[in-house]
Every structure is written in structure tokens, then in C-alpha cells.
Structure 1
Amino acid sequence: MGLGSHPSLPSILLNSHLDSVPAEPSKWLHPPFSAVRDADGLIFARGAQDDKCIAMQYLEAIRSLNSKGFVPVRTVHISLVPDEEVGGFAGWAMFVESDEFEKMNVGFALDEGQASVGDEFRVFYADRIPWNLKIKATGQPGHGSRLYDDSAMENLMKSVEVVSRFRESQFDVVKAGKALNSEVVSVNPVYVKAGVPTHDGFVMNVQPSEAEAGFDLRLTPTTDPDEMKRRIAAEWAPSVRNMSFEIIEKGPLRDCLGHPLMTATNDSNPWWLVFKQAIASAGEKLSRPEILASTTDARYIRQKGIPVLGFSPMKNTPILLHDHNEHLRDTVYMKGIQVYESLISSLSSFLEASH
């Protein structure tokens, strides 16, 4: 599309990641990396929803606009990046600190969202932030028949029980309809490691001296990280029970001014108003703005104080990211191109907003 007619204005950025998670071919109806379209118009491919679809839709929308002679006021950039599925640390986390990114002068960005099972598009104004939490317990080793206080496995199981109660307290809020899943702190156990291994299993009559469990912890943008760490230290892995913990923080929680990483979705944000109008101009509707339950590269862009909306134009579509038989209907894909035409033309023609 080239430079905008007013290239000094803050630019528009369209971001998509090109990496995808692995697939298990034996559990798919069609080879997961072949993009097979079946007789019903379903395109089966790893990345069909997450996230190669929007990369292609950006390009097709821009090609269509160019063919019509459209000239943007603001420069439009497309970034196709690696590493998102493993945290973005060698991708956007590094790129936002580069001179190249600074020169792009980004004023507003779009990144990936998620499919909607209903007939309204979903839009996301923030991401939850993942922490990888490892809790380790130590204790007296000994014969499997003996009873000890504070054995490693006993301490770890107590910890798992406490974490489970916290999980239930958050999930109860969701079940009661008082919050969406993405609006609470989630924590889920992902592995337990203990025992003395043998060639065909574990020694059954030895109590191990160490035991470890891993948890996927997701914080909301408004979660106090210091308070969360205090909870973990005092309740989940207290040192008085010979326990320790390690947190691997998978991205920023605050922007350059120390604010939560959220994009306003009200009249205070002129970009939001343009976005809404562009969706309406395409004949579509939006559901209530949400926090994304998972995590995207958008958090690194928001960290720079740049407004970002997560949006993937997929409606009446099952949510299949990272699932077996991930697919997208061809008509949904084609409609998304039209929607992006409306968005790109409207956002890149907007004159009033600046940094």
C-alpha cells in the first residue's frame, strides 16, 4: 500500500504471527499442514484460526483496496512475526525495543483475537499474562511403610489442595455469571514430578525426598503481581513446610507509564469509535469487549502505550485454536477479507487521533 499521503501522522499496524503449535497428524481428518478444503467448504489446517488466517486476510484486503485506487492518509504497516506461541521473547519483545519499530511511529494496532460461536464478532482490549509456576517440596526420605510429618509428597499434596481451593474460588465467580473466564485469575496444574524411577516405572516402597508440581497461572491486567507473589509464598509454598517456588513471568503486566495493559473501549479512545463504525459499515456487529483468556503479542505493543485491539473476523465458528482438526469455513474467511477492507480503509483515513 506504500506510504500514506500524510506519512508524518502515526501509522496503523496490522500484526500476525506465523508460527503455530505442533499437531498430531494421526488425530486429524486431513494432514494438518496441507490446508485441505473439504466438500463442505471447511479448510483444515494448523493455523487456520491461530493465526495464519488474519495474515492472509490483511494481504488480500490491501490488494483489493489497491486495485480500487485507495490511498491511505496514514501509512499502514504489516508485521508477520515468529515466536508468539512460545512467548514472543525472540519476536515482539525484542522488536518493540528496536530503532526500526520506533521509526514506524505506530499510533494504533490490530492483532489476533478469537472466533465467535455466535453471530457477533468478538473484540479484545487486553490479554491475561501467563506465569509458569513451579512449586518444590523436600522432606525426609524413607521406607514406604513409615509415617513421617512433612514428607515431600505430603507437603506437595497440601500445596496442591490450597491451590485447588483458590482455583475453585475463582471458577465459582465464573460459574455464577459474575465474570468471564478471562476476567479472573486462573491456575491449572500441568505436571507432577516425584518418585525414584526404575527401568519400568517407580520404586514403590521408597518415599522420595523431593517432589515438584508445575502450574499454568494466568493473571488479569488488574491483578497485583506483588500480592500474588505474597499469596504464593505464604499459602501455596510456605518455607516453614520446606517448600520453595519459582515463577517465570511470560511478559509485561504494565505499560511504559506503569498502567495496566488495557486499551480503552469507550468514547475516550477515538480509535475505538472508528473501529466500531468500520465494523458497522461492513454490516456486522460486535459483542461486548473482552479480556483475552490467553496471551498474544499485543501485550508488547500495549507496553509502549499504543492502543491495540485483538480481532479475528470469525463468527458462527467453533473455537479450535490448538485443537485437533482446527479449521475455518471458506465463506467465513472470505467475509473476513471484506471486514478488513472496511477496517483498514477507515483506520488509515482517520485524521484526528495522534500519539
Structure 2
Amino acid sequence: MSKKDKDAVDNFINYLKIKAVHPEPDYGESIRFLKEQAQELGLPCKVIEIVKNNPILVISWEGTNPNLPAVLLNSHTDVVPVFPEFWKYDPFSAHKDEKGDIYARGTQNQNQIMNINFHCISKLENIKFSINVSFMLNYLPLEEYIEAIRRLKAEGKRPLRSIHMSFVPDEEVGGHKGMELFVHHDEFKKLNIGFALDEGLANPTNAFTVFYGERCVHWVEVTCSGNPGHGSRFVVGDPGTKMRKVINSFMSFRDEQEEKFRSDPSLRLGDVTTTNLTCLSGGVQPNVIPAELKAVFDMRVTPTVDLAKLEQTIAQWCKDAGDGVTYKFLQVGLPAIGFSPMNNTPILLHDHNELLNEEVFVKGIPIYIEIIQSIANVPA
């Protein structure tokens, strides 16, 4: 093993020893370690503390064209509890055995589900992805992200697009004090993220697993504005008539998808798009035709659907319902891919004796180098 590979493994082991473990994680050591990494990389970093004692750290590598949407490499600093009596070694000792297996909480996965979904249509190297990735992040990509950037900088390379590495707290218990708030914060918006890379899953075989698509959550709020009046009259252009047309359009689409699902036993629920009317609001009293009515539809869109075309369809439904009918999406999405170069590795995320072999870790670094370069150099 080369010296730079050995140094990378040592960094990995040192970070695994930090006990930012629930229910009372101490993030101080994690932030100190990451600040040192930023200093070694010669890159600026910023700590954002939206919730006290739950710091978010961002390390940034400015691209040659920082005005382009940037790339986010995200990870988190907390880990799930351990039961030491079931471990071969102390789960925070990062013990490396004679085979090179490193035992520690976080070697494969620090978390299970992040409380934010990134979804969009992304075109990357002529591949179209419709994505809704629930983040699964761990120490592995964190350290490999850092090491990949370290080596790219050492070679004198600089990406076209800026790259931001974010390290967030509280993920293991829902991200309510971390990423959930961060995505709405001005500091996140300043990053101008256009693409996110996150972790996938170990694969016991020689293959690698890439997560590129799940059903996208589309919460669509439709507002029907129109002429108000007395409840005893036939008012032309009233919101209720428009809303009926909108509801009919959404629910007819629902019927089509349900029929498709029911008529083909080979289909799973994720192979079709579900649509449900979940909220209705408006009106002031029983005998007054209101000037505005609102409806919210919960759509779960299968990855095979072109999201741009779906939005065009929704826009047409609103147009067909009459003047004054508008729609908006109630959440924001980003294109993302979930991938961890952990092949020939048993799946032990959150399990006892979580481990990763040092050779698997080292082989993942050049893979990340290629991926990061490809993503960060996609032309405008």
C-alpha cells in the first residue's frame, strides 16, 4: 500500500474513533477534525449553527465558473447507538485486524433515512434520471470525498463547477436540527446546488450498486380563483366549477394508473404513479360562493415518467379548468445519485461488528475521483 493510501486509511480510522453517538452526540471533535481537513486541503470552511450545539460545516472548493450550479457532497456527523457486548472489538476503537478489516460504527453507514428528499430530472452524460433519493450517508464517502479532492488538488486540477462538502448533525434522529432546516437557510441557498451525490449500499458480490431512482414525491397545490357571489345563484366563472374540472383531471389520471396496476400482476406499486386528493380549503360561510378554493394532490411519480412532461400535463389541466387556475409544488428537489464503492462487502449498516476492509476503502478513492470530475465538469 502506498504512503498516500496508508495516510487515507489512517484518516479514516481517526475519524471513526470520534464518539458523536446518540442519544447525546458531542459534535465538537467532529467539527475540529473536519476543520483540520479543510486546512490541510487549503479550502475555506464555514460553520453554520441553526440549532444550538448542532453545527453544520461546509467545505468549499470554488470552480473555474462559480456561477454555474454547484455539486454537493453530503455526509453527517452523528452515529447510531451501539451495544458493545455484541461487538468483537470496541466499536469506537476502529480496530484493524490481520485481514485489514476495520471494525467501527460508521464504517459502512452512519444513518438510515435523512428527512429530506432530493428529486428532479437530471441529464448527466446522456443518462436521464428521475430521482427521489432518501439520503443514506456514512463515514466511507465522507473520507473518500475528502481524499479524492485532496488528490485532485495535488495534481493541480480544478473543477468547472464549485464543489461543496456538507457535514450535518442530527441525521440519525430525523435531521430536524440539521439538514431539514439547512435546506431552507440562506447559507444553503447561497451554495447554488445543482446536483447532490450521496451514499448507496455495500454489495456482497463483485458488483457495485447505484441508486438512481425511486418514486418522486410531488405535492401539487392548485388554486382556483373566480367570481364570488350568493349561494343561491348560477355564478359564471366561479371557483367551484373550475375546481371540479381540476379534480376530475387528477382523479381520472389516478384511475388510469390504478387500472394499469390492477390489471398487470407483474407490476409493483413503485411501477405506477399514485395520485390522491389530500387537502381542500376555502370558503367563508355556507351561503357565499368564495373567490378562491385550494386543493392539494399527493402524487408519487414512478421513475419512468418524464417529470417535465408531467408538469406540462398538470399545467394543461389547470388551463383547461379556466382562467385564474394556478398550481405550485410544495417542495424543492435536486438531482441526486446514491453510490458507495463498497463491493465484496457484507451489508452491516447499523449492525453489530460493522466493518470495512481497508483495500475496499482504498480502491474506492480513484472511483470517486472519476465520478467527482465527471459531475463537476458537466458543461453549462
Report TM bin, short chain.
Answer: 0.5 to 0.7
TM-score (norm 1): 0.52
The aligned runs of 1:1-355 (5 Å cut-off) are: 2-50=61-109, 51-126=138-213, 260=300, 303-352=331-380
1:305: how far off?
2.1
1:127: how far off?
5.9
Amino acid at match of 1:15: N
1:125: how far off?
2.7
Relative to its length, the structure with more strand (as a share) is 2
Quickly say closer, same or farther: Cα 1:62–1:258, change in 2 above 3 A: farther
- 5+ residue gaps in structure 1? 130-176, 186-219, 228-256, 269-301
| 1:114/1:314 contact within 8 Å kept | yes
Quickly say closer, same or farther: Cα 1:19–1:340, change in 2 above 3 A: same
| Superposed CA offset, 1:22-72 (max 9, x none) | 111111001001111100010000000011111111001100111000111
- 5+ residue gaps in structure 2? 1-42, 44-60, 110-137, 217-264, 279-296, 309-329
| 2:160/2:377 contact within 8 Å kept | yes
Amino acid at match of 1:47: G
Q: What number of residue pairs does the alignment pair up?
A: 207
1:309: how far off?
1.0
1:120: how far off?
1.8
| 2:106/2:139 contact within 8 Å kept | yes
1:83: how far off?
1.4
Distance 1:121 1:265 in 2: 25
| 1:126/1:221 contact within 8 Å kept | no
| 2:92/2:104 contact within 8 Å kept | yes
Amino acid at match of 1:113: G
**Identity within the alignment, %:** 46
| Superposed CA offset, 1:214-257 (max 9, x none) | xxxxxx99565779xxxxxxxxxxxxxxxxxxxxxxxxxxxxx9
| 1:54/1:112 contact within 8 Å kept | yes
| 1:263/1:309 contact within 8 Å kept | no
| Superposed CA offset, 1:260-282 (max 9, x none) | 4777899x9xxxxxxxxxxxxxx
Q: Which runs of 4+ in 1 moved over 4 A?
A: 126-129, 220-227, 257-266
CA root-mean-square deviation: 3.3
Amino acid at match of 2:99: D
Quickly say closer, same or farther: Cα 1:69–1:262, change in 2 above 3 A: farther
1:128: how far off?
8.2
Corresponding residue SS for 2:212: strand
| 2:274/2:299 contact within 8 Å kept | no
Quickly say closer, same or farther: Cα 1:320–1:72, change in 2 above 3 A: same
Amino acid at match of 1:116: N
TM-score (norm 2): 0.49
Corresponding residue SS for 1:309: strand
Amino acid at match of 1:109: A
